[in-house]
Amino acid sequence: MTLDPATQIRRFTSDIIDEARLEKLLGEAQRPLRVKFGIDPTFTDVHLGHGVPMRLLRRFQLLGHLPVLIIGDGTARLGDPTGRNDQRPPLSVEEVAHNAATYLEQIGNLLDLDPKWCEVRHNSEWFGTMDFFDALKLASEGTAARLLERDDFRKRMDAQLPVHMHEMMYPLMQGWDSVMVESDIEIGGNDQLFNLHMGRQLQERHGQAPQVCLTTPLLLGTDGRKMSKSYGNHVGLNATAEEMYGKVMSLSDEGMADWFRLATDLEEAECQKLLAGHPRQAKDRLARLVTAQIHSEEAAEAAAQEFTRRFRGGELPSDIPVFQLAEPSWSLPNLMKEVKLAQSTSEARRLIQGGGVKLDGVALQDVKHVIELTAGGEGLVLQAGKRRFARLFLA
């Protein structure tokens, strides 16, 4: 990758507020810049989409600057309304602490969390000691009209959905974080622009230089929609190498260019070359790069081989979960429930009738089929759909 800091940073940004100031800050470099990034500990499944700002933070870290991670244990109590069409459920203190720990653990592969190179703060530090009058004072720093202009609120109002007062406090709280940590730069997803701006506004009102705001582009999910666990199109940072490689391989062709840019460090020219070739080849390279980054070169290579063997060669996976069952004789639906290939008898029946169930490679379409288990040998391999397997033995 090229050495010019601004170019490195631009690869991961869609909006830059006050580009001139960014250049100036980077140019002076008299001191490590404080680069703020807020983490909402409202969930535990961190995915590659969340990894994009991390990778940008890593760039800053490599350039000698200081990432300041804000664990929003105060803000999490209400939840960022950005992009939401409903209200978030409140979280308990324990949940928040657990989520934050899990989050940090997972991003450890992308960012150096050594206290020497990275500052981690909890915003309960300042919100926890605020009394009601302090909160009112903070509330007086923004206007309702400004907040209600926002798309997400606008849409909810139009759809006749509730917008609660406390949700409007969120941007102010995030902005206040910037004041408290005296950030020079704040990074956020590109839907965060409003919240980031609030930081500038509050900083100015409190005698600080307004932070530069950088937003990172959204890394789309494997199906081209916004990456989200609820769509099942995400690649979790805690996924195994195999899962990760496989997930990336299921990425739509259209999404590849963005993925090369946002999820790998591969040089621009090289990316273009790959994208011009066969999509499958390019995707394989992409999947290896992504996997290697979180796991290792070796793990990525192994995952690629296993993938090829399984899906191109049509062979069985090498790590089929083994079940030792006490009963020798099972009706097919019950057996599937027992080994978690189906959640209910009805689901099992659907799978069977749809032709998705195989025993040792042979499709079974009879719902009433009875399976007799045996003790020794290879056992029986039961398969549901393309990727769920169970190897069965009589205990």
DSSP class per residue in 191-222: T-HHHHHHHHHHHHHTT-PPPEEEEEPPPB-T
Q: How large is the angle between the packed helices 256-263 and 279-294, nearest 10 degrees?
A: 30
Smallest gap from residue 326 Cβ to RNA (A):
18
Q: List beta partners, residue 252.
A: none
State which residue, 32 or 279, has the beta carbon closest to RNA.
Answer: 279
Evaluate whether 21 touches 212 at the Cβ level (below 8 Å): yes
Evaluate whether 337 touches 350 at the Cβ level (below 8 Å): no
State which residue, 108 or 354, has the beta carbon closest to RNA.
Answer: 354
CA distance 231 to 234: 7
State which residue, 308 or 374, has the beta carbon closest to RNA.
Answer: 308
CA distance 108 to 220: 22
The DSSP secondary-structure symbol of 75 reads G
Smallest gap from residue 161 Cβ to RNA (A):
6
**Contact residues: RNA, CB under 7 A:** 157, 160-163, 223, 231-233, 245-247, 249-253, 279-280, 283, 307, 311-312, 333-334, 337, 343-347, 349-351, 353-356, 384-388
**CB burial of residue 255 (10 Å; 0-12, 13-18, 19+):** buried
Smallest gap from residue 156 Cβ to RNA (A):
8
Smallest gap from residue 209 Cβ to RNA (A):
38
Smallest gap from residue 330 Cβ to RNA (A):
12
State which residue, 27 or 355, has the beta carbon closest to RNA.
Answer: 355
State which residue, 32 or 356, has the beta carbon closest to RNA.
Answer: 356
State which residue, 125 or 347, has the beta carbon closest to RNA.
Answer: 347
Smallest gap from residue 61 Cβ to RNA (A):
32
